[in-house]
Each structure stands twice: as structure tokens, then as C-alpha cells.
């Protein structure tokens, strides 16, 4: 199962392999998909994409900048930004398409293992674990990462030791702790420590801040 949300709608892959979406649906971005073969999903501004188990990528919603014109390749991961999409092919290459006002579809050459897209940028981890980013985003933090998370306007990498490093905005979650997992939203970020604490960005909405320190 998988779930992803934009500022106005969410989509989730159910155990049946179908996709269920809810929220704003002005351009059909929250229409359900019932193929029964989806393994992951991404949600952007007025746009959604689902990845089939076969590696075929399908997108629906607004098509202002050819966001729905998916390259004829097989993919293993998809990142949906504001008005652009990037996919990681089964060969480890990155393909991007859609709106390109900030260079967010100018993907680099090379072999990559993971990617994530934000509002007007995308970042990816290469085979050494180093982060590369393109579009409207600051230079990535140096080092080797085992996981990557992107939000609307920032990105974070998680090292093997559990250290989290972020770029574009100040890292506001305490960095003297070891994290097991991290997640970024449009205006918030949260991390789960190895002691099972959930810590969130103090600038997050009150509904998220209530989770701070909860261990159950």
C-alpha cells in the first residue's frame, strides 16, 4: 500500500491494487483507478500518477504542460511535483516531463536508486548515496544517504547512522537524535526516532504538533 497527498487532494493504493483518491477534483486528479495492479502513487497540483506492477506509469488530471504524456518506458518509482513529473526507470535513469519554469525537468545523466519531487524541483540519490537536485532548490547536503524525502520546498536525506540533513530551509527538527524514518509535507516535517518518539517541525499546524513526544 502507498499514499501521497498534494495541498488539495490525496491518493492511496489499496490492498486490492486499486487507487482511491479524495479531495479537490476540478481536473479529474482525484478520480479513482481500478486496474488492480498499482503498487505506488504520487499526487501533485491538479495531477496524480500511479505506477503499475509491470512498471507502466499512468497519470491523470490537468495536462497544462504535457504532464500526462508519460514516456514509453518502464519505471520503478515516480515523483510528482507541482506541475511536473519525474520517473526512475528500471535501468536507474531519470526521465522528467511537464512544466519547466525552474529547470525541474532538466534531469541529470547517470544511474540513480531513489528520487523525490517537490513543488519546482526534484532530487535523487545516485549509486554512492550522494544527493543530486535540479530546479528551484538549494545545493544538497554532502554525504551518503540511505533515504530521501522531499516536501513542497525542501528536501532531507537520512544517513545510515540515522542523522537527518536537510537543505533549502533550515533543519528545524533536532539533529542530535537518531531517526528511523522521516517525512516531509507541504509546510511541515516529522521524524520518528529510534526511541519511537515522533518529532515535528515547530512551524507545523497544531494538529501535527500534538504528536510531539508521543511514543505509542
Q: Which residue has the cell 537524535?
A: 177
State the DSSP string of 161-197.
TS-EEEESS---S-SSS-EEEEEE-SS-EEEEETTS-
How far apart CA 179 and CA 196 sit, in angstroms, is 9
Which pLDDT belongs to residue 94?
98
How far apart CA 38 and CA 43 sit, in angstroms, is 14
Asked whether residue 114 carries a pLDDT value surpassing 70, the answer given is: yes
Mean pLDDT of the chain: 88
Greater confidence (62 vs 177) lies with 62
Answer yes or no: pTM beyond 0.85. yes
Describe the chain by its helix, strand, coil percentages, rounded to 5.
0, 45, 55
Which pLDDT belongs to residue 198?
81
List, in order of start, the domains of the chain with CATH numbers.
2-137 (2.130.10.30), 149-216 (no CATH)
Q: How many C-beta atoms lie closer than 10 Å to residue 66's C-beta? A: 12
Low-confidence winner among 56-60, 84-88, 105-109, 191-195 (lowest mean pLDDT): 191-195
φ/ψ of 188, rounded to 5, equals -145, 165
* pLDDT digit string, tens, across residues 60-70: 999 999 999 99
Asked whether residue 79 carries a pLDDT value surpassing 90, the answer given is: yes
Which pLDDT belongs to residue 172?
57
Q: 170 falls in which pLDDT band (50, 70, 90)?
A: low
Which pLDDT belongs to residue 186?
65
How far apart CA 84 and CA 96 sit, in angstroms, is 7
Amino acid at each position: 500500500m502507498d499514499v501521497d497527498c498534494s495541498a488539495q487532494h490525496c491518493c492511496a493504493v489499496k490492498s486490492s491494487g486499486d487507487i482511491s483518491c479524495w479531495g479537490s477534483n476540478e481536473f479529474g486528479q482525484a478520480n479513482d483507478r481500478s486496474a488492480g495492479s498499482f503498487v505506488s502513487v504520487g499526487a501533485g497540483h491538479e495531477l496524480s500518477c500511479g505506477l503499475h506492477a509491470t512498471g507502466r506509469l499512468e497519470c491523470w488530471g490537468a495536462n497544462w504542460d504535457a504532464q500526462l504524456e508519460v514516456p514509453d518506458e518502464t519505471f520503478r518509482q515516480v515523483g510528482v511535483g507541482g506541475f511536473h513529473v519525474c520517473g526512475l526507470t528500471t535501468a536507474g535513469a531519470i526521465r522528467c516531463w511537464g512544466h519547466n519554469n525552474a529547470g525541474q525537468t532538466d534531469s541529470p545523466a547517470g544511474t540513480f536508486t531513489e528520487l523525490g519531487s517537490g513543488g519546482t524541483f526534484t532530487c535523487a540519490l545516485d549509486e554512492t548515496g550522494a544527493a543530486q537536485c535540479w530546479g528551484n532548490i538549494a545545493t544538497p547536503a554532502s554525504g551518503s544517504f540511505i533515504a530521501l524525502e522531499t516536501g513542497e520546498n525542501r528536501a532531507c536525506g537520512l544517513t545510515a547512522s540515522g542523522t537527518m540533513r536537510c537543505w533549502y530551509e533550515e533543519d528545524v527538527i533536532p539533529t542530535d537524535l537518531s531517526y528511523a524514518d522521516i517525512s516531509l509535507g507541504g509546510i511541515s516535517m516529522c521524524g520518528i526516532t529510534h526511541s519511537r518518539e515522533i518529532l515535528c517541525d515547530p512551524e507545523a499546524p497544531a494538529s501535527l504538533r500534538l504528536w510531539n513526544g508521543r511514543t505509542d
